[in-house]
Amino acid sequence: MKIRDYAVMLVLGMVVFWSLGAAATESPEATKTCANCHNDNGISDDPSIPTIAGVSSFFLENQLAIYAEQARPCAAKHFEKETTVSEADHCALAESLTDAEKTSLAEYYAALPFAAVQQEFDAALADKGQSIHTANCERCHTDAGSLDLDDAGILAGQQKDYLLEQFEFFKQGQRWQPDKMQPKMEKLDAEAMQALANFYARAGLEAAH
């Protein structure tokens, strides 16, 4: 199934989900594997791993579809946690899940509360990153990237190392939406990327207060 077709099905599925007033209350079986890296609460304590709790179910389910089509790198470059190859290979994991399991996982983690990572940031770099965000990112990643929007994900409060890795993937055209993201990231050098990551680190802490 193509990613665009999958996205259309997600929209239709979520309309039905909302109309029924359903809620994800039970932990799907597949969360046992996810928890090995993302923890039981979906909140990251590893610099290379994102928090997936509180992110929109549309975004999470779409990412699983993207992984299944290998339209983004299958694993992070580094894992501080001990993990098996099968757990680190998100493409293999996504391919092993049924559509119903993808939906169940996405709804479960979306229903959990997001918590910004408690991490240090450079104030001067964060100020520079704010200007970069306003000029290039705010249109889609509104409120300093703190909202759980359908296709944008949450940036504020994510691990800096994870964000820097993803910036580079987008810059190299290795993640889905290259027409949208690659031109933005190609304009940024290493210092600008660091500035943007520091801005999101600060924005996450500010949003939590």
Q: Which of 20, 10, 93 is nearest to 59 (CA)?
A: 10
pLDDT value at position 26? 66
pLDDT > 70: what percent of the chain?
81
pLDDT value at position 152? 87
Q: Choose between 16 and 126: higher pLDDT.
A: 126
Q: Choose between 17 and 67: higher pLDDT.
A: 67
Q: Which CATH class is domain 3-110?
A: mainly alpha
Read off the pLDDT of residues 83-123 as tens digits, 9 standing for 90 and up.
444 556 899 999 999 999 999 999 999 999 999 999 999 99
Please, what is the average pLDDT of the chain? Answer: 85
Residue 172: C-alpha distances to residues 1, 35, 205 (Å): 25, 29, 29
Instruction: Answer for the pair 198, 126: CB distance below 8 angstroms, yes or no.
Output: yes
Residue 20, pLDDT > 50, answer no
pLDDT value at position 19? 36
User: CATH classification of 123-207, choosing from 1.10.4080.10, 3.20.20.60, 3.30.830.10, 1.10.760.10?
Assistant: 1.10.760.10
- Enumerate the H helices of the chain as residue ranges: 3-20, 31-38, 57-68, 85-88, 90-96, 99-110, 123-136, 142-145, 160-171, 178-186, 190-207
pLDDT value at position 76? 55
pLDDT value at position 8? 46
pTM, 2 dp: 0.82
pLDDT value at position 81? 52
pLDDT value at position 30? 81
Look-up of token digits 């306003």: 134
Read off the pLDDT of residues 34-64 as tens digits, 9 standing for 90 and up.
998 899 999 999 999 999 999 999 999 999 9
Q: Where in the chain is the domain with CATH 1.10.760.10?
A: 3-110, 123-207
pLDDT value at position 164? 96
